[in-house]
Structure 1
Amino acid sequence: MDKIALITDSTSDLNEELISKYDIKMLNLKIIYKDREYVDRVDITPQQVYDNLKVEVPHTSLPSIQDMHNLFNRLQSEGYTHAIAICISSGLSGTYNTLKLAASEHTNLNITVFDSKSLTLGAGALVLGCGEMLKNGKTYDEIVQALPAMRDKVSVYYMVDTLEYLIKGGRIGKVSGALGQLLNLKPIISINADGVYYTHTKVRGKKQAKTKLMEIVQDTLSATKAKIWVMHGGSYDEGQKFYEDLKDNPNITHLGFGDISPVAGVHTGPGLIGVVIAKEPFV
């Protein structure tokens, strides 16, 4: 009988309850400061990273290829026959390509490495969808075949409080970034079909940005039912308020709340609010 493992990386932002519920295997990225390296969500929390950004903006790195080999070896020793790995977009991280390389050396396992072309719970939603399919008795082939259609139903949008960290990280040019700061522009950022960031729209001021983000969600919900996750990066209270404002919408089939991995957050800074939308029927 097939024994199927679900694998993801720590940027999928799944909480411990969901990881345990679906027995998800985790590959953790690294947070690297001048004097120490931390394992994302293991020995450093997202809030600790956000709180320290004014002092030092750390570097980040993907899980080592040895971490990946160790995981595949452990799965094989535990009797797994198949594995489905869903990770952060290949357009945003080298995790996908490295995982593909590692998987190719473990021929005793049937492994699918799937590019989420997303991040945070955009990728996490796909993992949860696979988990539900597994619980419903779907086969490895059925789950793998369903993944592209699930991916097409997922959208990610977020707003940033400051352009400072996008400028520092080279995500936007210094001139355009400085002009944006001067004009108090707040971009709503999304991820395109190639899995890379793009500016969905720009508004002036944080209040307008939150209003626009809510409009995006409500426009979707006026046309279809959907699962919604509200995410924050060092902005718990504002994220919680956004979450509360959505709680009574009858077209939301599931409403989640959580924090965004600092692996993504170091490029956007504190004060981020994001939404992940998964249109129904999802699985």
Structure 2
Amino acid sequence: MEKIALITDSASDITKELVLKYNIKVLPFKIIYRDKEFSDGIDITSKEVYETLESNTPTTSLPSMAEIEGVFESLKAEGYTHAIAVTISSKLSGFNNAIKLLSEEYPEIKTYVHDSKSISKGEQILIEEAAKMIEAGKNFDEVVAELPKINERIKIFFVIGTLEYLIRGGRLGKVAGTIAQFLHLKPIVSVDEEGEYYTYAKVRGRKQSLHKIKDIGEDILNNKKCEVFLMHGEAEAETLELAEKFKENSNAVSVNFGGYLSPVSGVHSGPGFIGVLFYEKE
């Protein structure tokens, strides 16, 4: 009989409630300062990261191979026969490839590594839906087959306060950073079908960027019923205001404010970040 485990990374912003409910294994990214290393979301908070960004910007790295190995050892001990790992976009991190390589050393656990082609709540939705399917009695192959279909129903948009940190971290993707900085543009950034950042819309100034992301959301909600998720990086008031606007749309099945983006994501997005995800309901 199949016993299916679920694995993700700390950039998923998965809630503690879901982790406990479904015994989800979460591998933390590393946040590295000159004199100390932290595990994402375990011994450092998002607020602490933002407080040090200007004076002491950290770097980030993958969960260690020993930690990934430890997860698979624990799955063996707990009697799991299968595992589904949902990872941050492979265009943003090497974690997807790292866990694929390590899983090959555990042939007794049949493992599928799913590239979310997303980040944050985009990962969480995939993991949560997989957990619900397993709970409902779906087998491994059935769950695996559904995940790409769920990907197609997820749309993510970001307002970036400054492109400085995306540039520093080499995560600009298809966003034209130098030009945007020079022209004081505040692009609305999205994630393409390959999981890479790109400029969805160009607007000038913070106020216009907030208006634009609201308009983008309204256009989506006017055509589809969606669950809406919002995260922020030092932009709580603006994000809550945006959430209230989306609640006015009758096609918003739910509007969920998730608070701070994970510390590791904050390192790369910088202050002033607002992320909005729309999950189309069938």
Measured against the shorter chain, the TM-score band is over 0.9
Residue deviations 1:180-202, cap 9 Å, x none? 33432101111111111111111
Partner of 2:243: 243
SS state at 2:254 partner: strand
Structure 2 match to 1:272: 273
Do the aligned residues in 2 keep the contact of 1:51 with 1:234 (CA within 8 Å)? no
What aligned pairs does 1:131-146 form with structure 2 within 5 A after superposition? 131-146=131-146
Normalising by structure 2, we get a TM-score of 0.94
Between 1:137-146 and 1:257-266, the stretch displaced more is: 257-266
Deviates more, 1:256-265 or 1:81-90: 256-265
Out of 260-269 and 22-31, give the one that drifted further: 260-269
Length-normalised TM-score, structure 1: 0.93
For the Cα contact (< 8 Å) 2:10–2:262, is it kept in 1?
Answer: yes
Q: CA deviation at 1:158?
A: 0.2
Match of 2:228 in 1: 228
Q: Which is further off, 10-19 or 181-190?
A: 181-190
Q: Aligned ranges for residues 1-283 of structure 1 at < 5 Å? A: 1-171=1-171, 177=177, 179-258=179-258, 259-281=260-282
| In structure 2, C-alpha distance between the alignment counterparts of 1:249 and 1:18, rounded to whole Å | 27
What are structure 2's unaligned runs of at least 5 residues? none
Q: 1:171 to 1:109 in 2, by over 3 A?
A: closer
Distance 1:16 1:145 in 2: 26
Q: Which amino acid aligns with 1:280?
A: K
Q: How many residues align?
A: 279
> Deviation at 1:170?
4.1
- Write the distance in 1 (CA, Å) between the matches of 2:168 and 2:110: 41
SS in structure 2 at match of 1:186: coil
Indicate conservation of the 8 Å contact 1:46/1:234, yes or no: no
- Paired residues of 1:12 and 1:123 also in contact (CA < 8 A): yes
Deviation at 1:163, TM superposition (A): 2.5
Contact preservation (8 Å) 2:44, 2:263: no
Identity %: 46
Once the two structures are TM-superposed, the CA of residue 145 in structure 1 deviates from its matched residue by: 0.7
**Matches of 2:23 and 2:240 in 1, distance apart?**
27
Deviation of 1:99 (Å) = 0.3
Q: RMSD of the alignment, in Å? A: 1.6
